[in-house]
Amino acid sequence: MRNFSVVDVFCGAGALTHGFVLEGFDVVAGIDADDSCKYAYEANNPGSQFINKRIEDLTADEIESLYPEGHIKILVGCAPCQPYSPYTKRVEDKDEKWKLLPRFADLICEIKPEIVSMENVPDLATYNEGELYARFIEQLEAEGYHVKDYDRIYCPEYGIPQRRERLVLLASQYGNIEILGKTHPSLDDYKTVEETIAHLDPIKAGETSESDPLHKASGLSDLNLKRIKSSKPGGTWRDWPEELIADCHRKQSGKGYVGVYGRMEWDEPAPTITTQFYGFGNGRFGHPEQDRAISLREGALLQTFPEDYAFVAPGESIYFNVVGRLIGNAVPVDLGRLIARSIRRHVKVCVEQSAT
């Protein structure tokens, strides 16, 4: 959009940026502390600069200088969600990283961009009895922002083929701002695993497609190969013969963990894609038909990255833990597009109202 410029804080591999780019916005820069994001960010978002810096070390002046003079400023970001996730066990990690959200709020209030979007896990709204998130909202409202928060955006209702729930906050100096309505409101409308990945070449565990180096599946031990062959789409390890069941699941404390070592279902959305999605034992990440976990490319497609999205420079080695982290930590690209379209509509309405 002409005269609108976006800066993406905590940009990762560029998924949120890419959503805005696909909707016609000029994203001038992405900022992240993880330098492994640089190639993916810049290769897929030409013209957008990657800045490798921690938010704690950034000043408002540095960010403000990125916006072209006279442009409307849009600041978007997704503070790392691990501090607010129930999966984070280490208290010291939570204590250190929760400070990133207040720092983001401080930068907003210093820069005063016309429009702000913040995306995170729904648990942020209840973390520390909701005090942290409430303070974030209060700080923005005190600066004159109209704030609208959605603590549970269910991704399948917006055409994203995974059961991910996200918190989305929108804030504007122009007036009330809202997210667009659901595009896939019923179960029958949800985009499925089959629609998303069934067209890719069949590969075996430990193999890589000849046509796409990212369509690469992790290997399986002999035991796990037997386990996945005994797994049904949508089933659990309880479907296995007794001799295949892990010792931890035989104990009372492990009997409720039925979401691991499972296959996805063709006619359903995928489970939430995590940073460990490439491992069969890390969740319901088994391919619906092939005896392997989903590949890196399949995980990226379920995160709605375009099929040609590049995460590693040509000729460089592809490491599961590195690329898996980039994909699993990303905002789904199509959620970024939804946020961008919502902002575009909001601006159009506000301009029309100011003209009358």
pTM of the model: 0.92
Residue 41 backbone dihedrals phi, psi, to 5 degrees = -65, -50
Look at strands 72-77 and 4-9 and give their pairing: parallel
Any idea which residue has 């704690």 for tokens? 56
Contact criterion met (CB below 8 Å) for 198 and 228: no
For range 201-214, the mean pLDDT = 97
For position 244, what pLDDT does the model report?
87
For position 257, what pLDDT does the model report?
55
Residue 5 backbone dihedrals phi, psi, to 5 degrees = -130, 145
Alpha-carbon distance 102 to 277, whole Å?
A: 30
Sheet-wide strand order for 4-9? 49-52, 26-32, 4-9, 72-77, 115-120, 165-172, 146-154
Domains and CATH numbers, the chain: 4-187+335-355 (3.40.50.150)
* Neighbouring-strand partners of residue 172: 115, 146
For position 98, what pLDDT does the model report?
62
Query: Is residue 2 over pLDDT 60?
Result: no
Contact criterion met (CB below 8 Å) for 191 and 160: yes
The burial class, CB within 10 Å (0-12 / 13-18 / 19+), for 179 is buried
For position 81, what pLDDT does the model report?
54
DSSP letters along 134-178, please?
HHHHHHHHHTT-EEEEEEEEEGGGGT-SB--EEEEEEEESSS---
Contact criterion met (CB below 8 Å) for 237 and 246: yes
For position 249, what pLDDT does the model report?
64
As given in the structure block, the two tokens for residue 185 are: 């409101």
Query: Is residue 111 over pLDDT 60?
Result: yes
Q: Which of 2-6, 89-93, 98-102, 272-276 is the most confident on average? A: 272-276
What pLDDT digit, counting tens, does each position of 255-289 carry? 555 667 899 999 999 999 999 999 998 989 999 99
What pLDDT digit, counting tens, does each position of 125-182 carry? 888 788 999 999 999 999 999 999 998 999 999 999 999 999 999 999 999 999 999 9
What are the Cα distances from residue 270, in Å, to 158, 286, 317? Answer: 14, 10, 27
Q: Which residues are catalytic?
A: 81
* Neighbouring-strand partners of residue 274: none
SS (H, E, C) 46-110: CCCEEEECCHHHCCHHHHHCCCCCCCEEEEEECCCCHHHCCCCCCHHHHHHHCCHHHHHHHHHHH
What pLDDT digit, counting tens, does each position of 311-340 carry? 999 999 999 999 999 999 999 999 999 999
What are the Cα distances from residue 25, in Å, to 30, 73, 126? Answer: 13, 11, 32
Any idea which residue has 């506000």 for tokens? 350
Q: Which of 75-79, 111-115, 232-236 is the most confident on average? A: 111-115
- Using DSSP's 3-state secondary structure scheme, residue 32 falls into strand
The burial class, CB within 10 Å (0-12 / 13-18 / 19+), for 82 is middle
As given in the structure block, the two tokens for residue 111 are: 């820069």
8-state DSSP, 286: B
